Each structure stands twice: as structure tokens, then as C-alpha cells.
């Protein structure tokens, strides 16, 4: 299952790749083309400029995250289902997901104790963190983001973007953009070879160039390790975003339907659906000092989707 979840990154990579495209100028003379003449690449470029500002705002929101994982039989019916619900918040500049329900039921006393212990260990680790260690931790996070950017240079070279039409999604007029693997693509970064095996479709709303939804499909077998896993063509992923508080676009649902052979012995099929709800905006610039009691950020009124 862990190997399959790695494929989930493909649909996000299609989105993140646009950050690299955004660095390129719209035209040599710096003049923005009129709406009638706009092409897919320019739509994508503008959407990333918007997405960067959106990402900064999104960091001020906590939410509830519900994950439903299903293992399917040969006929596509569920053999087993596991459901977990998490509260997502931030401590010491890091996102933290705390388990609050299993199979839509409250945790047992034993499970709650385990969850509390995990949180206490996390807080204790960061509470006693020296200034030097904190700087190193944040520098490591920044390094990981920079490494993702390096990977994205391959992403932007892996795809051709094409304007496929216009549609209305959740009341928003949107452009439909197709992302097709580019022939002759030669990856330069580790694991970037999977990009030539995934195609996508993007919906970008017209008013402010925000992402409404995206879909991706595996079109060729993707292998992880010599004997770890192979993900089959036909595996599909998608995500949908919603407009919250008239200021930010946040993920509402992520879905995956995957078919794979695990350890080259057993074919397996999985479905996963992640839903995000109860978004709350918070603002906290207070740094918790060593020995101080932990206090969760005071959330604002629950954010309402538009």
C-alpha cells in the first residue's frame, strides 16, 4: 500500500510543475496577451502565480482529514475497509495530524492513550529544541522544498499543455487543460521517469486562475524497486478544491483507484478517498518557550466553502 501511495504524488506533481513554468516570461516584451489570444501555457503560468499566493494563505488553516482505504477483489468489490479521521494543526512550524476516530467511532481508551503519548513525545522533542537545532530543522524542510523544485524542472519538460475547452465546475467557469507526456523526454532527477507514464487534465477557473480540480491516469507500467511493486496502467487519481472564506482555495477531496502487483507475486486493487472539511483559520505568532504549557492556536469561526 505504501508503494501505491507514492503514485499519488503524480497528480500533485502535475500541479507543482507549474511553479517552474511560472518562472518563464509570458512574452519577450513583457506584454500580457489579450484573453482571446491566451493559450494553455499562459493560463498555466498565470495559475501558478495565483497558486503561490494561495499556498501562503493555506498555511493559516487547520482542518479535519478523513481517509477511507479499501482493498478490492477481482470484481472490484471491497474485501476490507479501513477509515481513519485526523485533526490537522500546526506546532512549532510543522503540520501535525492527530488521530481522533477509527471507522467513524471514537478511539478506545487504549488507542487514545497511544495517540496522546505520540503527541506528547512530539511536543517534548520540539519544546526542548535549541535555537540551533530549530534552525537546522527548518533549514532541512527548506532543503526538501528546494529538492522538489529541482525535480520539477524535469516535470515541466515531461509534459505538453493543451487547451481542451471550457467547463463550469461547482459554479466556476474554468478552462480545461490537458497535460500529455512529451515524446523524447529524458529525466535528469531520481524517479522522474514515472512522469512519462502519467497523463493529466486540469481545470483552472477563469476569474483569478485558481485550480478547481485535476485528474491523472497511469498510461504505462510504473515500477518501484526490483521486486517491490508495479503499478498498472489505468490507475487513476484526482483532487478537487473548494473556495473557502472568499480568500483561499483548499483541497476538498482526493481520490485514487489503483491496480498493482505487490512484490511481483500478488495482484491487488485499492481505492482511497481523502476528504478535508471543517477548515478553520488561525493566527498565532507566539513561540512556545521551553517548559511552557502547550496551548493550541485559537481558531477563528469555522471557514465556510463558497
Tens digit of pLDDT for each residue in 94-150? Answer: 889 999 999 999 999 999 999 999 999 999 988 888 989 988 988 887 787 777 666
Give the residue from 175, 218, 178 showing the smallest Cα distance to 194: 218
Cα dihedral 45, 48, 49, 54, rounded to 10, equals 160
Report d(CA 13, CA 159) in Å as an integer: 11
**169 vs 42, 117, 177, 211, 275, CA distance in Å?**
21, 43, 14, 11, 18
Which pLDDT value is given to residue 75? 82
Asked whether the predicted pLDDT for residue 272 surpasses 70, the reply is: yes
Report d(CA 226, CA 264) in Å as an integer: 9
Cβ atoms of 195 and 10 within 8 Å: the answer is yes
Asked whether the predicted pLDDT for residue 291 surpasses 50, the reply is: no
Q: State which of 49-58, 96-105, 185-194, 288-297 shows the largest mean pLDDT.
A: 96-105
Give the residue from 240, 239, 245, 241 showing the smallest Cα distance to 306: 245
Asked whether the predicted pLDDT for residue 49 surpasses 50, the reply is: yes
Asked whether the predicted pLDDT for residue 286 surpasses 60, the reply is: no
| Pick from 34-48, 75-89, 159-173, 242-256: least confident | 34-48
**96 vs 73, 102, 143, CA distance in Å?**
34, 17, 20
List phi, psi (to 5°) of 90: -130, 135
Which pLDDT value is given to residue 282? 77
Report d(CA 83, CA 268) in Å as an integer: 19
Which pLDDT value is given to residue 283? 60
What is the model's pTM?
Answer: 0.77
Question: Of all helices (H) and strands (E), which one includes residue 184?
Answer: none
Higher pLDDT, 263 or 223: 223
Amino acid at each position: 500500500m505504501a508503494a501505491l501511495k507514492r503514485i499519488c504524488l503524480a497528480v500533485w506533481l502535475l500541479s507543482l510543475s507549474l511553479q517552474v513554468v511560472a518562472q518563464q516570461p509570458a512574452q519577450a516584451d513583457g506584454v500580457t496577451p489579450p484573453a482571446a489570444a491566451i493559450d494553455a501555457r499562459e493560463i498555466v503560468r498565470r495559475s501558478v502565480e495565483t497558486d503561490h499566493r494561495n499556498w501562503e494563505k493555506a498555511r493559516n488553516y487547520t482542518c479535519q482529514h478523513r481517509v477511507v482505504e479499501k482493498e478490492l477483489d477481482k470484481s472490484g468489490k471491497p474485501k476490507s475497509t479501513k477509515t481513519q479521521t485526523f485533526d490537522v494543526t500546526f506546532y512549532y512550524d510543522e503540520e501535525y495530524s492527530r488521530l481522533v476516530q477509527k471507522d467513524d467511532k471514537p478511539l478506545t481508551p487504549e488507542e487514545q492513550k497511544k495517540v496522546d503519548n505520540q503527541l506528547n513525545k512530539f511536543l517534548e522533542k520540539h519544546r526542548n529544541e535549541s535555537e540551533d537545532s530549530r534552525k537546522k530543522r527548518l533549514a532541512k524542510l527548506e532543503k526538501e522544498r528546494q529538492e522538489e523544485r529541482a525535480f520539477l524542472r524535469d516535470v515541466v519538460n515531461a509534459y505538453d499543455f493543451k487547451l481542451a475547452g471550457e467547463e463550469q465546475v461547482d459554479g466556476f467557469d474554468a478552462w480545461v487543460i490537458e497535460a500529455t507526456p512529451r515524446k523524447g523526454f529524458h529525466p535528469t532527477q531520481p524517479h522522474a521517469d514515472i512522469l512519462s507514464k502519467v497523463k493529466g487534465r486540469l481545470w483552472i477557473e477563469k476569474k483569478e486562475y485558481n485550480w478547481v480540480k485535476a485528474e491523472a491516469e497511469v498510461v504505462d507500467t510504473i515500477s518501484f524497486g526490483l521486486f517491490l511493486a508495479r503499478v498498472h496502467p489505468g490507475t487513476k487519481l484526482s483532487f478537487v478544491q473548494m473556495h473557502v472564506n472568499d480568500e483561499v482555495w483548499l483541497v476538498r477531496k482526493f481520490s485514487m483507484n489503483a491496480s498493482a502487483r505487490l512484490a511481483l507475486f500478488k495482484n491487488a486493487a485499492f481505492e482511497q478517498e481523502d476528504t478535508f472539511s471543517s477548515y478553520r483559520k488561525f493566527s498565532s505568532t507566539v513561540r512556545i518557550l521551553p517548559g511552557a504549557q502547550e496551548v493550541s492556536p485559537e481558531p477563528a469561526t469555522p471557514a465556510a466553502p463558497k
